Amino acid sequence: MNQPSDPCVVLLVDDQLIIGEAVRRILAAQQGIVFHFCQKGQEAVATAAKLQPTVILQDLVMPDADGLDLVRAYRQQEATGLTPLIVLSSKEEGSTKAEAFARGANDYIVKLPDPVELVARIRYHSRGYLSLLQRNQAFEALRISQEALAHELHKAADYVRSLLPAPIKDPLQIDWRFVPSASLGGDCFDYFAIDEDHVAMYLLDVCGHGVGPALLGVSAMNSVRTSNIGGADLREPASVLKRLNATFPMGAHGGMFFTIWYGVFRRSTRTLKYSGGGHPPAMLIERGASGNVIRELESPGPPVGVVPDLDFESLVTEVPEKSSLFLYSDGAFEVFPEPGKVWGVHGIQEFMKAQDVRSAACLDSLYARVREFTGSDVLADDFSAVLVQTG
C-alpha cells in the first residue's frame, strides 16, 4: 500500500489513445505526479491492484467493459476499495452521474476538462486519500499498542491473583472473589495467623489504574506479609498503618496512595481490633430475628501515604458467635443502577442484609448484581470482596 509520503499516482483507464496522450501531457509538467495508462477495460482492475494508485480516472464507455461495472469492481477489491475514483464521461447526464456515485465514484468530470481543473481535482483527491491512509496507519498502530497494553494488564492481573491467599477453613473460614477491571486497579488483600490466638486480615486499594498501582499494592502487601514494615506489631492495626504510611509516602511513589482496612481477630476473647485509612467501612454481620444486622467498622484515618508522620487509631469491638466479617473495595459499590445514581455503601449494605453470609455464595450474588448494574463483564474498577466467618 502507498505510504503517506508517496507521490500522487494516477491511473487513467480509457480506450482512446488520444485521451491517454492528452492527460499524459497535462500531467507531465506537474511535479510529484506519476502517470499510468490502461487502454483495456478487462485489465483495469488487476492493473489498479498492482499499481495501487492514489487516484483512478475511469472512462465510462469502453468497447470491452462497462465503466460503471468497473467502478463497482474497484470497490469490491481490498487494494482499491478506498481509492478515489474520478469518472470521465462525454456526457453531462444527471442519471449517469447518480449511478456513478451510487456505485462508488468520488467525482465526475466531462472529458476533457480544463488542465488546471483536472490537476486540481487529482491533487485534491490524492491528498485526501493519502491522509486517509495515514489516519488508518495511526489507528492500526494504536490498535496494536492497545492490544499489547491489554496483554500486559492481563499478565499483571494474573500476577496479582497468584499472590492472593487461598481460601481457608482454619482457624477461620475465609473466602473471596477478585475480578480485575479492564485497566487493572490496585486492589490487594491478605489474611494470615500471626500466632495461635491472633488472625490478621486486610484489604487495600491503590488509587488509579494500570500496572503502577497494581505493583504498589503488591509491594505494600509483601511488606505486611514479610513483616518488613519497620518493626510494626502486626497485632496492633494502628502500628501497622503508621509504618505503612511512613514506608509508602506518595511523594516517593509517583503521587500514588492507598486506602486500607486492617483488622486482627483475637480468638480467645472473640474481639476484633481494627484500624483504617480512607477505606470503605468493613461490615460485621450478625443474623437477627428479621434478617441480618450490620455494624459498620469504620476506617477513621486518612489514606496511607498522604499525610506524613501520622498516628492512626485502633478500635475494638466484640464479635458475636456465628457472625461474619465482610471486606470489600469501592469497585463493589461504585456502580450505577440507573444513570446519575450511584449504588454506594448504603446500597451494598442493604444488599448484604438479605444474603446468607454463612455461605460464600453471597459473594457470587454480589458480583452478579454489580455486573448487572455495569451492564458488562468489563468493570470500571477492581471488584474485591472477602468474607470471614468467625464461627
DSSP 8-state secondary structure symbol assigned to residue 26: H
Least confident of 67-76, 229-238, 260-269, 294-303: 229-238
Please identify, in words, the CATH class of the domain defined by 164-389.
Answer: alpha beta
State residue 93's pLDDT score: 87
Burial class (CB in 10 A: 0-12, 13-18, 19+), 2: middle
State residue 148's pLDDT score: 84
Residue 271 CA, chain-centre distance (Å), reads: 42
Query: Is the pLDDT reported for residue 353 higher than 70?
Result: yes
C-alpha cell at 70: 468497473
Query: Is the pLDDT reported for residue 2 higher than 60?
Result: no
Query: Is the pLDDT reported for residue 184 higher than 90?
Result: no
State residue 79's pLDDT score: 94
State residue 121's pLDDT score: 94
Residue length, the chain?
391
- Mean pLDDT confidence for 158-181: 94
Q: Where do we find the cell 452478579?
A: 368
For 178, the 3-state DSSP assignment is strand
The CA distance from 81 to 49, in Å, is 10
pLDDT band at residue 152 using 50, 70 and 90 as cut-offs: confident
The CA distance from 174 to 391, in Å, is 11
State residue 6's pLDDT score: 60
Please identify, in words, the CATH class of the domain defined by 8-137.
Answer: alpha beta
Query: By the 8 A CB rule, do 328 and 386 touch?
Result: yes
Average pLDDT, the chain: 92
State residue 4's pLDDT score: 41
Q: What share of the chain is helix, strand, coil (3-state, %, to 5)?
A: 40, 25, 35
Domain with CATH 3.60.40.10 in the chain: 164-389
Residue 309 CA, chain-centre distance (Å), reads: 37
C-alpha cell at 227: 513483616
Percentage of the chain exceeding pLDDT 90: 82
Query: By the 8 A CB rule, do 113 and 83 touch?
Result: no
- Mean pLDDT confidence for 370-388: 93
State residue 106's pLDDT score: 95
Residues 6+ apart with CB under 8 A from 233: 239, 240
DSSP notation for 218-271 = HHHHHHHHTT-STT--TT-HHHHHHHHHHHS-GGGTTT--EEEEEEEEETTTTE
- Mean pLDDT confidence for 123-147: 91
Domain with CATH 3.40.50.2300 in the chain: 8-137
Query: Is the pLDDT reported for residue 346 higher than 80?
Result: yes
The CA distance from 237 to 314, in Å, is 6
The CA distance from 335 to 344, in Å, is 7
State residue 334's pLDDT score: 95
- Mean pLDDT confidence for 112-136: 93
Q: Among 194, 176, 190, which residue's Cα sits nearest to residue 234?
A: 194
State residue 111's pLDDT score: 85
The bridge status of strand 33-38 relative to strand 8-13 is parallel
State residue 146's pLDDT score: 80
Residues 6+ apart with CB under 8 A from 306: 250, 257, 278
Q: Among 196, 266, 213, which residue's Cα sits nearest to residue 237?
A: 266
- Mean pLDDT confidence for 80-103: 92
